[in-house]
Amino acid sequence: MKKRKIARLVVVSSILLGSVGVKVFAQNQEPQETKLPPLSKQEMEMAKQIYFNRCAGCHGDLRTGAIGPALTPDKTRALGLQNIEAFITYGSPRGMPAWGKDGILTPQQVNMMARFLMYPPPSPPEFDLPDVMKTWKLIVPPNQRPTHPETKNDISNYMGVVLRSANKVAIIDDKTKKPVAILATGHALHILRTDAYGKYFYTIGRDGKVSLIDLEYKHPKIVASVKACYDARSVEVSLYRGKEGDFRDKYAIVGCYWPPQFVILDGMTLKPLKVVSTVGYQVGTGKFVRDPRVAAIVASYYHPEWIVNVKEIGQIWLVNYKDLKNLKITMVSAAPFLHDGGWNSTKRYFLAAANASNKMAVLDAKRDKLVTLIDTPKFPHPGRGANIDNPKYGPLYCSSFIGAGAVACIGTDPKHHPQYAWKVVKIIKLPGEGGGSLFIKTNPHTKYMFVDRTLNPNEKLNRQFYAIDKNTLKVVHTFNMPADLKGRFVDFDFNKQGTELWVSDWDKQGALLIYNPNTFKLIDVIKGPWVVSPTGKFNVYNTAHDIY
């Protein structure tokens, strides 16, 4: 009896292993690889969760690689258990964090993850429209929400701050520098967007949960929520108003990492309307990609469209939301892996980082076409980027880099400065060695742009940020983290007037530092037990108006 059961298992295994393309054991055949260390069902579940939270971002949900290398069994088994453990413990100069050394994973967890990685990647489940629908909660219907602010605060000057490991958002009044609300949102909150009028914040968690926050309440509150995916990074609203209609606030869109899809929602209720798959074939190689993730999404002002970066296949999809039943998508071939990006100053051109290709892709949102691909230093990561107007080069779009200690500025004015258009006109070296920058930002009311260096392995450098003069394109000031604060600098935004530069001290118990963006003087520090791992910051006015 026992023997027969085993025989059946062997058969089933060989069928299934055939189906995932990894020949570990074939029927009547010895395992050909190193003996696999055992992994219990419980460990499998724990490891899946850790992988999803810590590893999938760089190595892909299916472990097929993205910024980080592929972790398929052929590679991990060749490395062997001890080498994998070493990587997980100590990280790598290429950008892998030191999960063990930094105390984020215990030695037992490191060992479990190493074993997990030697097995074929478990396929994550689908999450389609019926699944999304089940999670939808309309807490306050639109007609029962405030029609005007129930507070004397200037809500357009609220700052939404991601409290990442608390899974919360803090909404801070610029006048008092105190939170008017701290709300539980999706897990590992990623970004915030506003509607066209600045009445609402839309938040997206890495767990795919969107929360709609009505800011007009005395204490802002969540009026609707929905989980659109298992893993997500982006949310955006419809912003087009013009000849083809007024679509402001009509729809929202969520970009998923897993399943590979985007989800269109009703803008005011978050009711799920449509799911569209991004499974496809990579630009250039033509290779099939089962899990192309959706990275940055922005709303076009030229057409009723969203500009959707489909990462691994290297395509920018222009999703026209004018008629959801006859949905029009223009699949623009750019380069892999499309990640973040932002508008040029006229908001006609969208610049997207293709980080595996070390390029910026330029999309013409008026003509719905790729303009060009621009070679850049290693691993561009502009966030939304910084738009400046330089006396010599005219309007420039500047990006910083994870892989290079530099800022590169690209001419964006083909009409009046054609000789500089879509060329890197200047590379500005940052002090010290190495890259690690995540964000660059500016504002019309300052003469400078500001660059962080969060991922630099050097503790001195990741606790610095820099001011670059918009005219001379030189680093003119280095900001150092006050000694009593222990985290790294990350991400900027300004208040509405552009008189305050906010930056995060990213730490378990962190802080928000506020500087004068012209004198560089530290104006204020926001601290308190609620300031848990502050990362992204989103001023309502600047977010609603795409000011960067």
Q: Which residue of the set 58, 331, 477, 545 is catalytic?
A: 58
Q: CA torsion, points 66, 72, 78, 84, in degrees to nearest 10?
A: 70
Q: Which of 184, 327, 476, 522 binds its own copies (CB under 8 A)?
A: 327
Q: How far apart are CA 38 and CA 25, in angstroms?
A: 15
Instruction: Respond yes or no: is residue 381 known to be catalytic.
Output: yes
CB of 354 to its own copies, least distance (A): 15
Nearer to its own copies, 12 or 184 (CB): 12
Q: Is 521 in the site for its own copies (CB under 8 A)?
A: no
Task: Report helix, strand or coil for 378.
Answer: coil
CB 105 within 8 A of CB 98: no
Q: How far apart are CA 91 and CA 455, in angstroms?
A: 12
Q: How far apart are CA 311 and CA 224, in angstroms?
A: 29
CB 491 within 8 A of CB 383: yes
CB of 52 to its own copies, least distance (A): 15
CB of 158 to its own copies, least distance (A): 35
CB 505 within 8 A of CB 535: no
Nearer to its own copies, 259 or 411 (CB): 259
Site for its own copies in 159-188 (CB under 8 A): none
Nearer to its own copies, 264 or 424 (CB): 264
Among the listed residues 183, 201, 182, the one whose alpha carbon sits nearest the alpha carbon of residue 191: 201
Site for its own copies in 367-426 (CB under 8 A): 368-370
Instruction: Respond yes or no: is residue 59 known to be catalytic.
Output: yes
Find the part of the chain contacting its own copies (CB under 8 A) among 82-90, 327-335, 336-344, 505-513. Answer: 327-335
Q: Is 32 in the site for its own copies (CB under 8 A)?
A: no
- φ, ψ at 163 (rounded to 5°): -105, 90
Q: Which of 32, 34, 277, 471 binds its own copies (CB under 8 A)?
A: 277
CB 299 within 8 A of CB 240: yes
Q: Is 128 in the site for its own copies (CB under 8 A)?
A: yes
Q: What is the DSSP letter of 433?
A: S
Which single residue is written with the structure tokens 């699949």?
331
The interface mask with its own copies, positions 56-95, x = CB under 8 A, is ----------------------------------------
CB of 47 to its own copies, least distance (A): 11
Q: What is the DSSP letter of 157?
A: G
Among the listed residues 313, 318, 278, the one whose alpha carbon sits nearest the alpha carbon of residue 297: 318
Q: Which residue of the set 44, 96, 445, 545 is catalytic?
A: 96
Find the part of the chain contacting its own copies (CB under 8 A) among 7-15, 140-148, 216-224, 477-485. Answer: 7-15
Q: How far apart are CA 384 and CA 248, in angstroms?
A: 21
Nearer to its own copies, 275 or 360 (CB): 275
Find the part of the chain contacting its own copies (CB under 8 A) among 326-334, 434-442, 493-501, 509-517. Answer: 326-334
CB of 441 to its own copies, least distance (A): 31
Q: Is 331 in the site for its own copies (CB under 8 A)?
A: yes
Q: How far apart are CA 180 and CA 220, in angstroms?
A: 7
Q: Within 13 Å of residue 464, how many CA atoms lie on the same side as its CB?
A: 19
Q: How far apart are CA 117 and CA 96, in angstroms?
A: 15
Q: Which of 74, 102, 126, 244 binds its own copies (CB under 8 A)?
A: 126
Instruction: Respond yes or no: is residue 339 known to be catalytic.
Output: yes
Cβ-Cβ contacts under 8 Å for 31 (sequence gap 6 or more): 24, 25
Q: Is 329 in the site for its own copies (CB under 8 A)?
A: yes
Q: How far apart are CA 468 and CA 326, in angstroms?
A: 47
Q: Is 328 in the site for its own copies (CB under 8 A)?
A: yes
Work out the angle between the directed axes of helices 81-90 and 107-118 (0-180°, nearest 10). 130
The count of residues interacting with its own copies (CB under 8 A) is 69
Q: Is 10 in the site for its own copies (CB under 8 A)?
A: yes
CB of 128 to its own copies, least distance (A): 4
Q: What is the DSSP letter of 283?
A: T
Q: How far apart are CA 489 and CA 443, in angstroms?
A: 19
Find the part of the chain contacting its own copies (CB under 8 A) among 130-138, 156-164, 240-248, 349-357. Answer: 130-138
Instruction: Respond yes or no: is residue 58 known to be catalytic.
Output: yes
Q: Is 134 in the site for its own copies (CB under 8 A)?
A: no
Nearer to its own copies, 324 or 476 (CB): 324
Q: Which of 108, 147, 323, 521 binds its own copies (CB under 8 A)?
A: 323
CB of 372 to its own copies, least distance (A): 12
Find the part of the chain contacting its own copies (CB under 8 A) among 21-29, 96-104, 145-153, 483-491. Answer: 21-29
Q: Is 144 in the site for its own copies (CB under 8 A)?
A: no
Q: Is 98 in the site for its own copies (CB under 8 A)?
A: no
User: What DSSP line would sit under 48-110, residue for residue?
Assistant: HHHIIIIIHHHH-TTSS-SSSPP--HHHHHHH-HHHHHHHHHH--TTS---TTTTTSS-HHHH
Task: Pick left, alpha or beta for residue 436 (phi over 0 → left; psi -120 to 50 → alpha; otherwise beta).
Answer: left
Q: Is 33 in the site for its own copies (CB under 8 A)?
A: no
Neighbours of 420 (CB within 10 A): 22
Q: Which of 179, 205, 267, 280 binds its own copies (CB under 8 A)?
A: 280
Q: Residue 117 class from Cβ within 10 Å (0-12 exposed, 13-18 middle, 19+ buried)?
A: buried
Task: Report helix, strand or coil for 260.
Answer: coil
Q: Which residues are part of the catalytic machinery? A: 55, 58-59, 96, 339, 381
Return residues touching its own copies (CB under 8 A).
4-21, 24-27, 30-31, 35-36, 38-41, 44, 119-120, 122-123, 125-126, 128-130, 132-133, 259, 261, 272, 274-277, 279-281, 285-288, 323, 325-333, 368-370
